[in-house]
Amino acid sequence: MKKSRNLNVLSFMICFFLTINLFGQKTFIHTTKDANIKNHITTIDHKLVNKNPDAMLFVSQHYGKYNPHQIGVWYNQDKWKIYHEDKTDMPVSNKFNVMVMDASGPAFVHTANSENITKNWTTIDNPLCNNKPDAVLLVTQNWKGTYNPKPIGVWYVKGKWTIYNQDRSAMPNATFNVAVLDKGTTKKYGNAFAGTHTVKTDKKNSYGDYLSGTGIKDKKLMLFVTQNFNTKKYNNHIPAVWHTGQEWSIFNQDKESFDNGASFNFVKMPFAPEDDTPPNPPADVVTNGENVTIVSYGTIKKPLGRFVQVGKKVWKEFGNKGSTFKFNEQYRDEWSVYLNDDSRKVSIRLDLHTKKIYYKDVKLEKEREQYEIINVSRKVNGMMAKKVTYKMSNSSGAFKNTEGKKWSELNKNGTSTFVETGRDDWSVYLFDKSRQVNIQLDLHTKQVLYGVKGDPLKPLYSITEVVD
């Protein structure tokens, strides 16, 4: 009896893990590069899908660039591809969230044909979703010889789900991957959470009505979306997803406004540990929106000014003609910093990806391009520095901002006090009146410069650390 019971337990565990293996999704991010693009196609090179023609791929665009083109997937020469349905060139640095589901999971391939097409929609007849109005469907086009460059969505009517063209044009004999999940958390499907999101245009944000926050805050997730006609609102635009720094959002790639009530099916997935690309690269690898502190604008021959972070959430714009404006940082994402000047009702977007600075005020419905970005830096700058540590022979010392404009220096020789006389992008300037000594903490050259009043400054110590 004991042996039989153990065998039953073992059999149950085997079945349990087989179920997880069969139905579990995996996710990763695919980023377009010169090396993986050919015309309108980008080739995926990932262990989850290579030499796997039966994989079911579901793809949502993830902001890397604005890319208002419908996409699909295609398997060819042992690799899966993502392509533009309208055959326009695929841009570099665009991102795609990719979900891989086994063909034996809650997914299937649907092909539109003369028997199931009515005007601009094709009717799905599958037991996974028939008579299930609350099911959450994700749809990605799968090329089998027919292009369909139109924005698409799903719609439940008379006991069946349909796939339709948002612009109401005739549905061609296109093929689609379809995933079907129940609303809520579904552990057997990789801990996915499925639901619907309805756009409320009265919920204002600093971006405009082409973006809608979902309330999903966890940045270490993958989000997938498909438009849903359950609120009877068309959205004839290409949607994508993006984390604003505060929450995941859905937006129209062409920046055209949502109609109030536009609806989307969404699935949020844990980020799989074996993925090749993390959702957010380490902040110290490159200068991006998440770590930038100085943004200069104009042209190489004619710089016009710069935005400098001067505090935790405070920035200043310094124009070359002496103008100064103060901004509060609203949030950041991988590519941009969003600033507001409430006194003038002005918002600024420092977009490091497009290398543009965008401007909006109460007189403008949409932001406009204001300047070209010519240089950026991610280092702690002179406007932010609170403590500067340096190396001296066989020991170390530090300058520390103690209060307001007051600084103290502490090293093996004792303590000295200084008054801050100025700051710029890269330096803090100090003066000790009792000794008539000038100090420049030069964060750019990483040197402490010293000079008695009236004499030129000379290097004294090497800076080893700067703290803001």
Query: Per-residue pLDDT averaged across 429-439, rounded?
Result: 93
Strands 414-423 and 406-411: antiparallel
CA distances from 356 to 130, 290, 351, 415 (A): 48, 16, 5, 46
Most confident of 102-111, 165-174, 413-422, 436-445: 165-174
| Token pair belonging to 299 | 């042209």
Q: What pLDDT, on the 0 to 100 scale, is given for residue 5?
A: 41
pTM exceeds 0.85 for this model: no
Q: Are 328 and 339 in contact (CB under 8 A)?
A: yes
The DSSP line for 246-315 is SSEEEEETT-PPPPTT-EEEEEEEEPPTT-SS-SS--TTTS--TTT--EEEEE-SSSEEEEEEE-SSSEE
User: Cα(63)–Cα(59) distance, rounded to whole angstroms?
Assistant: 13
pLDDT band at 20 (very low <50, low <70, confident <90, very high): very low
User: Cα(407)–Cα(432) distance, rounded to whole angstroms?
Assistant: 10
Instruction: Supply the DSSP symbol for 90.
Output: P
pLDDT digits (tens, 9 = 90+) for 113-144: 999 999 999 999 999 999 999 999 999 999 99
Q: What pLDDT, on the 0 to 100 scale, is given for residue 453?
A: 82
Q: What pLDDT, on the 0 to 100 scale, is given for residue 14?
A: 32
Q: What pLDDT, on the 0 to 100 scale, is given for residue 280?
A: 46
- Phi and psi angles of residue 289, each rounded to the nearest 5 degrees, phi first: -60, -20
User: Cα(465)–Cα(468) distance, rounded to whole angstroms?
Assistant: 10
Mean of the per-residue pLDDT values of the chain:
87
Helices marked H in 24-172 — which ranges? none
In degrees, rounded to 5, the angle at the alpha carbon of residue 362 between the alpha carbons of residues 357 and 366 is 50
pLDDT digits (tens, 9 = 90+) for 46-75: 988 999 999 999 999 998 889 999 999 999
SS3 427: strand
Describe the chain by its helix, strand, coil percentages, rounded to 5: 5, 50, 45
